[in-house]
């Protein structure tokens, strides 16, 4: 591999996506996408993801199930990722293109940071993801839609912020909370009912978990806690300290509490 | 019609080498040295924002002396090389040796074919999983690659500094021991260097996935001992400084 050097008029700058383009390669969304939406039933889909604000920042969580049509394709897929030190991205939709988009997004943010010697603002990161989704529109129209949630700690405003997207790359900032994916509606209403301003970390984790529980209760494509195999949803916090994934043990304990509380009511 | 005078190839190469060497020797020096937790990179640099030492990839750092625009162009090319490779294959497949070879080929090509050689010396440092795997690739203006395992010196007064380093160097020393020794070797016996005149960074095994981190003036002043604190502590939000991240540094 020779050194990627460019003349000043064709330099891709700090963008990794543009760099790939100069090499005749491109990220997700560049494929022609096959014939029609008929593939949608056979490809893997990630399901429910949630994000909500709390006192110290943002919590993101996602269940662990991937489906192919009506079958469970995978039981321990991870849908919540660190995008960089102060932001995270969670994915719903076609799992293949979504995971690839996350990898490109992570590389893009780190590449910018290294080339420029400065990190992008949270808005800048959110807009980058928006552009990647727009590039994927062709594939989305053929049934391979990716719907991410983006959240992070805004170092300028000193607060957590949540962004949602549609398949066209439309970017919308949410005030307090959001959930997408097949169980997103149920998760969202559960979280909306329990949401309070400036919750503690523990309350916020419990609320996120309760949201995922309700989604798994109503939606066949969303996985609940798998006590038999010891698989629990992934939960992460993003605060002024950065992205931090909760230990599975802690998530398991919160679910045990939830299950006990539900059991008493029944 | 212009007259083409004959110049023997020996003379042409010698003139180019002299030209490059002279301009590199005028630049301020840089030392890279291994210590117990990784690799320490120390440069004399008065600028706060135009770095001589920077991050290329998870375990790879770049350092350059000489003409800033030339080595910065090489740095950016290195980041592009590494990120493209890591994206196409996997993060583990990005290694310093192949990057050093690419640099050497390019610099050798420029040296023999272009009007003017690059007036830079660069260093590609790679942090090993174990201390014995740490690598320092020192690449000269003509594309010569020298690989070192203990320390290497780039830029002006390299020989004098190297002999001072030879005396000071200890195998597997701690960072707190290595920093004052390296700064002493850079400055020599007749002067002292203030934290503000130094750029210090490390590739540390304890830093997690992104091993690169800068050492701010505050911490540097502490390590250098008896000097007054130049600033009120480390920059609390360094931009790219791979500050140790616990488990927030995973990749898909």
Could you tell me whether strands A45-46 and B151-154 are parallel, antiparallel, or unpaired per DSSP bridges? Answer: unpaired
Say whether residue B105 is in contact with chain A using an 8 A CB cutoff.
Answer: yes
* Inter-chain touch B247–A2, beta carbons under 8 Å: no
User: Is residue B250 situated within a structural domain?
Assistant: no
Residue-level pLDDT at A41: 60
Of the candidates B52, B24, B50, the one whose C-alpha atom is nearest the C-alpha of residue B140 is B24
User: Is residue A258 situated within a structural domain?
Assistant: yes
Closest residue, chain A, to B55 (C-alpha):
A114
User: Is residue B233 situated within a structural domain?
Assistant: no
* Inter-chain touch A19–B76, beta carbons under 8 Å: no
Residue A47 is among the residues annotated as catalytic for this protein: yes
Give kind and range of the element (H or E) at residue B39. Answer: strand B38-44
- The total of structural domains in chain B comes to 1
Q: What is the mean pLDDT of residues A24-39?
A: 57
Interval B67-96: pLDDT, tens: 999 999 999 999 999 999 999 999 999 999
Interval A98-131: pLDDT, tens: 999 999 999 999 999 999 999 999 999 999 999 9
Residue-level pLDDT at A189: 96
User: Is residue B100 situated within a structural domain?
Assistant: yes
- The total of structural domains in chain A comes to 1
pLDDT at A34 over 70: no
Closest residue, chain B, to A238 (C-alpha):
B248
**Residues of the domain holding B107:** 17-224
Percent of chain A past pLDDT 70, that is, above it, reads 93
What value of ipTM does the predicted structure carry? 0.89
**Residues of the domain holding A53:** 43-265
User: Is residue A79 situated within a structural domain?
Assistant: yes
Q: Using CB atoms, which residue from B73, B103, B248 is nearest to A245?
A: B248
- Per CB-CB distance under 8 Å, the chain A contacts of B87 are 16, 20, 103-104, 107
User: Is residue B231 situated within a structural domain?
Assistant: no
Determine the Cα angle at A144 with ends A139 and A147, to 5°. 105
Residue-level pLDDT at B227: 45
Closest residue, chain A, to B48 (C-alpha):
A117
Say whether residue B236 is in contact with chain A using an 8 A CB cutoff.
Answer: no
User: Is residue B196 situated within a structural domain?
Assistant: yes
User: Is residue A81 situated within a structural domain?
Assistant: yes
User: Is residue A235 situated within a structural domain?
Assistant: yes
- Per CB-CB distance under 8 Å, the chain A contacts of B55 are 114
Closest residue, chain A, to B243 (C-alpha):
A85
Catalytic residue among A47, A67, A222, A237: A47
User: Is residue A99 situated within a structural domain?
Assistant: yes
For residue B66, what is the domain's CATH number? 3.60.20.10
User: Is residue A28 situated within a structural domain?
Assistant: no
* Inter-chain touch B239–A117, beta carbons under 8 Å: yes
* Inter-chain touch A81–B248, beta carbons under 8 Å: no
> How far apart are alpha carbons A73 and A80 in whole angstroms?
18
CB A104 within 8 A of CB A114: no
Shortest distance between the Cα of B217 and any Cα of chain A, in A, equals 18
Of the candidates B38, B47, B80, B76, the one whose C-alpha atom is nearest the C-alpha of residue B210 is B38
- Per CB-CB distance under 8 Å, the chain B contacts of A81 are 250-252
B-contacting residues in A 158-187 (Cβ below 8 Å): none
The band of B251, judged by pLDDT with boundaries at 50, 70 and 90, is: low
* Inter-chain touch A19–B83, beta carbons under 8 Å: yes
- Per CB-CB distance under 8 Å, the chain B contacts of A1 are 81, 84-85, 98, 102
Q: Using CB atoms, which residue from B102, B251, B252 is nearest to A2?
A: B102
Residue-level pLDDT at A40: 55
Interval B175-203: pLDDT, tens: 999 999 999 999 988 888 999 999 999 99
Of the candidates A81, A63, A90, the one whose C-alpha atom is nearest the C-alpha of residue A215 is A63
> How far apart are alpha carbons A43 and A93 in whole angstroms?
10
User: Is residue B244 situated within a structural domain?
Assistant: no
User: Is residue B44 situated within a structural domain?
Assistant: yes
For residue A114, what is the domain's CATH number? 3.60.20.10
Whole-prediction pTM value? 0.89
User: Is residue B9 situated within a structural domain?
Assistant: no
User: Is residue A186 situated within a structural domain?
Assistant: yes
User: Is residue A2 situated within a structural domain?
Assistant: no
């Amino acid at each position: 591999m020779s050194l990627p050097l460019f003349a000043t008029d064709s330099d891709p700058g700090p963008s990794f996506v543009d760099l790939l383009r100069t090499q005749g390669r491109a990220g997700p969304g560049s494929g022609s996408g096959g014939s029609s939406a008929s593939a949608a039933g056979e490809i893997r889909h990630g399901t429910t993801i949630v994000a909500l604000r709390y006192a110290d920042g943002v919590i993101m969580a996602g269940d662990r199930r991937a489906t192919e049509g009506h079958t469970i394709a995978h039981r321990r897929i991870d849908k919540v990722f660190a995008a960089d030190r102060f932001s995270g991205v969670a994915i719903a939709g076609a799992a293949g293109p979504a995971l690839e988009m996350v990898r490109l997004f992570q590389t893009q943010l780190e590449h910018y940071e290294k080339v420029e010697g400065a990190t992008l603002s949270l808005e800048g990161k959110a807009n980058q993801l928006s552009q990647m989704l727009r590039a994927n529109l062709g594939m989305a129209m053929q049934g391979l839609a990716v719907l991410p949630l983006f959240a992070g700690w805004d170092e300028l405003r000193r607060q957590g912020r949540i962004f949602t997207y549609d398949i066209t790359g439309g970017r919308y900032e949410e005030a307090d909370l959001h959930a997408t994916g097949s169980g997103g509606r149920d998760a969202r209403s559960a979280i909306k009912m329990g949401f309070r301003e400036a919750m503690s970390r523990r309350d916020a984790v419990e609320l996120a978990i309760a949201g995922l529980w309700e989604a798994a209760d109503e939606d066949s494509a969303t996985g609940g806690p798998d006590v038999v195999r010891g698989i629990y949803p992934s939960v992460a916090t993003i605060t002024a300290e950065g992205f931090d994934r909760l230990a599975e043990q802690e998530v398991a304990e919160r679910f045990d509490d939830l299950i006990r509380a539900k059991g008493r009511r029944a | 019609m212009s007259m083409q005078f004959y110049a023997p190839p020996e003379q042409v190469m010698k003139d180019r080498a002299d030209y490059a060497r002279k301009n590199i020797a005028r630049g301020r020096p840089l030392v890279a040295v291994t210590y117990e937790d990784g690799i320490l990179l120390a440069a004399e640099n008065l600028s706060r924002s135009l770095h001589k030492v920077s991050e290329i990839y998870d375990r790879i750092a770049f350092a350059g002396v000489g003409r800033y625009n030339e080595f910065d162009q090489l740095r950016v090319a290195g980041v592009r090389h590494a990120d493209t490779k890591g994206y196409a294959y996997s993060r583990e497949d990005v290694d310093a040796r192949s990057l050093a070879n690419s640099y050497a080929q390019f610099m050798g090509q420029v040296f023999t074919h272009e009007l003017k050689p690059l007036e830079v010396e660069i260093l590609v440092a790679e942090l090993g999983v174990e201390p014995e795997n740490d690598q320092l690739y020192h690449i000269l203006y003509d594309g010569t690659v020298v690989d070192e395992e203990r320390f290497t010196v780039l830029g002006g007064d390299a020989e004098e500094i190297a002999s001072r380093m030879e005396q000071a160097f200890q195998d597997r020393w701690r960072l707190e021991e290595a920093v004052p020794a390296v700064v002493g070797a850079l400055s020599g016996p007749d002067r002292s260097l203030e934290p503000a005149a130094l750029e210090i960074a490390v590739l540390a095994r304890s830093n997690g996935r992104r091993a690169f981190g800068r050492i701010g003036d505050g911490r540097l002043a502490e390590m250098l001992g008896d000097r007054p604190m130049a600033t009120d502590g480390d920059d609390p939000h360094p931009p790219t400084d791979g500050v140790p991240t616990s488990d927030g540094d995973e990749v898909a």
